[in-house]
Amino acid sequence: MSNSDDHFPSEQIIADYLAQNPDFFDRHEDVLRDLRLYHPTGRAISLIEKQVSALRERNTELRHRLNQLLDNARQNDRLFERSKRLVLALLECNELGDIVDALYYSFDKEFGIPFTRLILFRKPPQPCNVRIATEDEAKMVIGRHLKTSRAVGGGLNREEIAFLFDRDHARVGSAAMVPLYTNQLLGVLAIGHTDPKYYQAGMGTLFLTHIADVLDRLIPKHLP
């Protein structure tokens, strides 16, 4: 090697190799796309050079967008698998306490959700890890979110967060919630995070709505 860095061949070796393999760039178009070839036109930029530059920038943008799509697809696959495991675990539960434990465990360990609250407006026959509140108490604080069965992703104020997360409310930076309905209002499922920007207004709530739909069908069987 004539190059000062023994790990790389000299420019002459590269030039000789390309001369002996004129179809190299036909077999490696990805390398050709990233090469910069300038035309000797002085200070002016040739039309071809301008077009190549624009195509290269467009190609970089498309690759970036494709990588984002692939990342989102992988994230959705992971979310689907975790959701499926949670739903199957909930379906196997025979008591309300088991449902609550499975829900809290999955949200904490599988989804990395620091704060989860299941609030019911009817007292279950057996003690379990849920908070009991009256529907009137809830309407006084979070009534604006109970008018429909739609999930709310972010946009909760401090008073609403204090009601939903009681003793942990000071550590909750942002939250999302969904009312639980069958023929009537059953309660509320809320999740919270320490990051104030983690749950924001307008974010997708498909996952939370899906879990709430499952709970809507399971919980009434265990309430008087």
3-state secondary structure of 114: coil
Cα 206 to Cα 168: distance, rounded to the nearest angstrom: 25
Instruction: Give me the amino acid identity at 171.
Output: R
Q: State the CATH class of domain 95-222.
A: alpha beta
pLDDT confidence of residue 42: 54
**Amino acid present at 13:** I
**DSSP 8-class letter at 196:** T
Query: Other C-beta atoms within 10 Å of 32: how many?
Result: 12
Write down the residue that tokens 């904490």 correspond to: 108
Q: From start to end of the chain, where are the E strands?
A: 115-120, 131-132, 152-153, 174-181, 185-193
How many H-runs (helices) and E-runs (strands) does the chain carry? 8, 5
pTM here is 0.69
| pLDDT at site 40 | 58
Q: Give pLDDT, residue 2.
A: 46
Around Cβ 10, how many Cβ atoms within 10 Å? 13
User: What per-residue confidence (pLDDT) applies to 154?
Assistant: 82
The DSSP secondary-structure symbol of 72 reads H
* CA torsion through residues 72, 73, 74, 76, sign: positive
Task: Name the 3-class secondary structure at 187.
Answer: strand
Closest CA to 101 of 86, 112, 83: 86
Residue 113: per-residue pLDDT: 93
Cα distances from 33 to residues 41, 105, 110, 144, 188, in angstroms, run 21, 50, 42, 55, 55
Q: In the prediction, which pLDDT does 38 show?
A: 57
At residue 163, the pLDDT reads 96
- Sorted by where each begins, the domain ranges of the chain are 95-222
Structure tokens, 41? 């036109």
Write out the chain's pLDDT in tens, 224 residues. Answer: 444 455 677 888 888 887 888 777 777 767 766 666 555 555 555 666 767 777 888 888 888 888 888 888 888 888 889 999 999 999 999 999 999 999 999 999 999 999 999 999 999 988 898 999 999 999 999 999 998 888 898 889 999 999 999 999 999 999 999 999 988 899 999 999 999 999 987 667 888 999 999 999 999 999 88
**Strand ranges (E), 4-148:** 115-120, 131-132
